[in-house]
Structure 1
Amino acid sequence: MAKPTIVLLQGTFQVPEVYHKFAALIESRGFPVVQPSYPSLSNQDSPDFTKKTLADDVAVVEAVIKQLVDGEGKTVLVAMHSYGGLIGAEAVPEELTVKSRKARGLSGGVAYLFYVSAFVLPMGQSVATAVGDSPDHDHWDGRFKMRDSLATMYYDLPAEEAAYWAEKVIPQSNAVKETPMKRCAYTYLPSTYVVCTADHAVPPFVQEMSAQLAGAEVKKIDSGHSAMLSKPDEVMALLEEAAAKIETGN
């Protein structure tokens, strides 16, 4: 049986490069990887940048998933980090799930959700209504950014590597926080939630609540927010465990 394609959804404030090493690790284990870019983090000099919302990010990812499933008949596992959890939950319509497609005699589909220290919100809620503005963020001209990313997202990496990634942190369109959730794929897809127990960005108790909301199987890693950098092999092992559930149907 072919291994599922991993749609890798990154967190906020970060360039895609942050995930490239982990994506290469996934590919080295025989999984195809697709990592879409978000409009709310791209083309920051565009006059429309600050108008980009969660819905714009979702539209891009949903189109990628639709092409993989409808266009290529692929089985898909959606792996989500941080902000990516919101995008993944909304970007998978029920008709693109394996269960729905199988009932219609079609192959492929989204089979599983894999969260790593990721946000999960209920239908109708937005980041603004659920969380509000974090004291860890700076806001200006329709943008927001992590104030001290080294201490918040990368503190458990070797000093040189942590400084490297902290220098690359970028702002995001503030409009993403105002978008309410319109679809919650965790209500019709199984999932695993990896709690990063030493996370300074998303407190572990918030992660536990998110996992409960998603109805996810909970796994734990002793790491900070960026486990795909600090504990890539441990995250990979759990990702393979999740993928194996697809293959066995459990």
Structure 2
Amino acid sequence: MSSTHPTIVFFAGGFADPTCFDTISALFQQSGYPAVYANVRSLNPSDAASVTTAKDAEHTRNQVLLPLIEEGKDVIVFVHSYGGIVGGAAAARLSKKSRLAEGKAGGVVGLVYLAGNIVREGESLLQAMGGSYPPFLKENCPSQGLAIIEPVMETLYNDVADPSFKSKAEAAMLPHALAAFETPATAPAWAEPELEGRRLYIRTLEDQCIPSFVQDIWINKTKVKWNVVDLKTSHCPFVSCPEEVVNIVLEFIKDWN
């Protein structure tokens, strides 16, 4: 189906394959928004010491965002959790407004952060979390340099009522390189004035992974204006209430072009 709507590029959080977005991706596509997934190298890597946050951003920028934009497509960057650091950096200097000023077509027309991690240029996620990992993040598991989240349900999906989802969620938990959380990020797109009025942050108020007060701290430290919407959900509302997530986003992005 051809579409005049921007393409939504999804950046998943740590420990998760982007197929976690399959349900909301399908709903966006039904509304006319093409969808593309960005894959990061720090997810279950063969060499945990070889990856960095900056490499994740560079890879997704070169392999996903730039090919779309250089085709003249408009793009909305949709991020969840750790994906906020990668997607934010990957989208830097690619806004449609700045590209238009250079006589180029296509570009990033907006940012959607769903409980997205926010760091400043040169800052790591570990620093943004206060310098220590939460107890649910199991370091050097299943091997040196990797980590997993445990328990999965209580940390990420505490509002999912379906008991059969537990086994699926645990099977989907993939190891992530600790280096991704400990290395500094490059300059983020959210800091750019060209994206003024095009930043949406969805706060997850019952989040057991990234508490809402931490999300508030991150939003405030950006010193830029966000449209903020609250969901009384766990860290992963794209599982527990996908239609609500999509409806909120569609309301904000309908005029982004």
Q: Tell me the alpha carbon deviations over residues 62-94 of structure 1, each in whole angstroms, 9 at most, x when there is no partner.
A: 111111112x10011000001100011110131
1:62-101 pair list within 5 angstroms: 62-63=61-62, 64-70=64-70, 72-94=71-93, 96-101=94-99
Q: Are the counterparts in 2 of residues 92 and 185 from structure 1 also a CA contact under 8 Å? A: yes
Residues paired across the two proteins, number: 242
Unaligned runs of 5+ in 2: none
My pick for the range that moved more, 72-81 or 49-58, is 49-58
The answer for the alignment partner of 2:138 in structure 1 is: 138
Unaligned runs of 5+ in 1: none
With normalisation by structure 1, the TM-score equals 0.91
Q: Are the counterparts in 2 of residues 51 and 173 from structure 1 also a CA contact under 8 Å? A: no
Q: Are the counterparts in 2 of residues 114 and 242 from structure 1 also a CA contact under 8 Å? A: no
My pick for the range that moved more, 6-15 or 162-171, is 162-171
2 CA distance for matches of 1:235 and 1:109? 24
The answer for the alignment partner of 1:116 in structure 2 is: 114
2 CA distance for matches of 1:117 and 1:179? 20
My pick for the range that moved more, 172-181 or 76-85, is 172-181
Q: Are the counterparts in 1 of residues 205 and 212 from structure 2 also a CA contact under 8 Å? A: yes
Q: Are the counterparts in 2 of residues 98 and 108 from structure 1 also a CA contact under 8 Å? A: yes
Q: 1:41 aligns with which of 33, 40, 43?
A: 43
The answer for the alignment partner of 2:5 in structure 1 is: 3
1 CA distance for matches of 2:138 and 2:123? 22
Secondary structure at the aligned position of 1:246 is classed as coil
Q: 2:201 aligns with which of 193, 209, 225?
A: 193
Q: Tell me the alpha carbon deviations over residues 34-71 of structure 1, each in whole angstroms, 9 at most, x when there is no partner.
A: 101111114x4x2x24422212211221111111112x
2 CA distance for matches of 1:203 and 1:30? 33
Q: Are the counterparts in 2 of residues 127 and 177 from structure 1 also a CA contact under 8 Å? A: yes
1:1-250 pair list within 5 angstroms: 2-42=4-44, 44=45, 46=46, 48-63=47-62, 64-70=64-70, 72-94=71-93, 96-131=94-129, 132-140=132-140, 141-157=144-160, 158-188=162-192, 189=195, 190-214=198-222, 215-247=225-257
2:33 aligned partner, one-letter code: F
Q: Tell me the alpha carbon deviations over residues 140-165 of structure 1, each in whole angstroms, 9 at most, x when there is no partner.
A: 10111112111000121122113321
2 CA distance for matches of 1:197 and 1:227? 11
Coordinate RMSD, CA, aligned:
1.5
Q: Are the counterparts in 1 of residues 82 and 116 from structure 2 also a CA contact under 8 Å? A: yes
2 CA distance for matches of 1:242 and 1:93? 21
2 CA distance for matches of 1:128 and 1:156? 26
With normalisation by structure 2, the TM-score equals 0.89
